[in-house]
Amino acid sequence: MLNFAIVGCGHIAKKHAEAIDRTEGAALAAVCDMIPENMEFYRETYNAKTYTDYSELLADKNIDVINICTPSGFHATLAVQGAEAKKHIVVEKPIALLMDDTNAIIDACERNGVKLAVVHPNRFRPAMKKLKEVVESGKLGKISHINATVRWNRNQAYYDQAPWRGTKGLDGGVLMNQAIHNLDLMLWMMGDVNEVFSMSATRIRDIEAEDVCTGLVKFSSGALGVVETATTIYPKNFEESLSIFGEKGTIKIGGPTAVNVEHWNVEGTSEEETAELKKLIEEDPFGKPGHQCIIEDLVEAVKENRGPIVTGEDGKKALELVLAMYESAETNQPVNMQPQEVLN
């Protein structure tokens, strides 16, 4: 049995608690938050111990895993401290807001021999798993390009509910906070990126970071990518989608939260097979909750002494893309993302 502790009892913490509760071999043993009232739900529902002092939580030898659910700007400090205390780490997206912080988290976990899992749960959605299978099979042939789209609504009240929301230091904008899941999926499907060019703006929301961002991506394979992200859509979430275009197939996974097969036309796949695939996904579009898949995998990773499915390096790649797009938007120049050894 692995005993988990959640740090930061905001909105996303409940998904972690439910995932832990549903996972065999896992138990929610403790929670930590600076505001005692935020922890009452977890004490009453799961009989979790409550801590307002993180160092006291880390000193609890009964705790095996720390789930970090705080504002993004605090991820690095808490993750490094947790790793130094020999606790396995589950960190919400994004892994951090800065590359140096990300490297510090990965290094601390490696030095202390603890597992590091980053929460990119959308990889576990049935439609995305099927899409990944087809891409890896080569059935699409040479891929020309991919579109990653997030057209969502986050109104001003969303940003006003906490002073850190929409700030560059603790939260980030639509690219860092909302669209990073979609970008992770794009990277998961397409591999490494060589070059990006992007533009961003703060058009409607009264926040420090961007509320709309568009960009172009060139992958190491030579394929291209188009990124469009916004939290300005009226009056509610309109679309999250991933569309892939190959010489032998066209696929779009879409809907408000990218769980529906909106188009699936692959050479060699009959209309009957396509209809059966769509029906199967329509019956259970979300599948097992992604957070639960992350927790279950972490338990198995510890048991089998292997790396988690979504690693620190995966989280780092998604962050690298976001930061490159930010740099391009600020400089109005393309940004080369090839490793230095490749460039030399």
pLDDT of amino acid 123: 98
pLDDT band at 338 (very low <50, low <70, confident <90, very high): confident
pLDDT of amino acid 341: 52
Q: SS3 of 18, please?
A: helix
- Give the domain ranges of the chain: 2-114, 122-287+321-331
**pLDDT at 139 > cutoff 90:** yes
**pLDDT at 303 > cutoff 60:** yes
Which residues sit opposite 121 in a β-bridge? none
- 61-65, 88-92, 198-202, 337-341 — which is least confidently predicted? 337-341
CATH architecture of 2-114: 3-Layer(aba) Sandwich (3.40)
State the SS3 of 104-135: HHHHHHHHCCCCEEEECHHHHCHHHHHHHHHH
Q: Among 3.30.360.10, 3.40.228.10, 3.40.50.1370, 3.40.50.11030, what is the CATH number of 122-287+321-331?
A: 3.30.360.10
pLDDT of amino acid 209: 98
pLDDT of amino acid 33: 98
Instruction: Convert the pLDDT of each residue in 237-290 to its tens digit.
Output: 999 999 999 999 999 999 999 999 999 999 999 999 999 999 999 999 999 999
Instruction: Give the residue-averaged pLDDT of 148-177.
Output: 97
Note whether 79 and 68 are within 8 A (CB). yes
Q: For residue 46, what are its two tokens?
A: 């799961």
Q: b/e map of 209-244 (b: 16 or more CB within 10 Å)?
A: bbbbbbbbbbbeeebbbebbbbbbbeeebebbbbbb
pLDDT band at 340 (very low <50, low <70, confident <90, very high): low
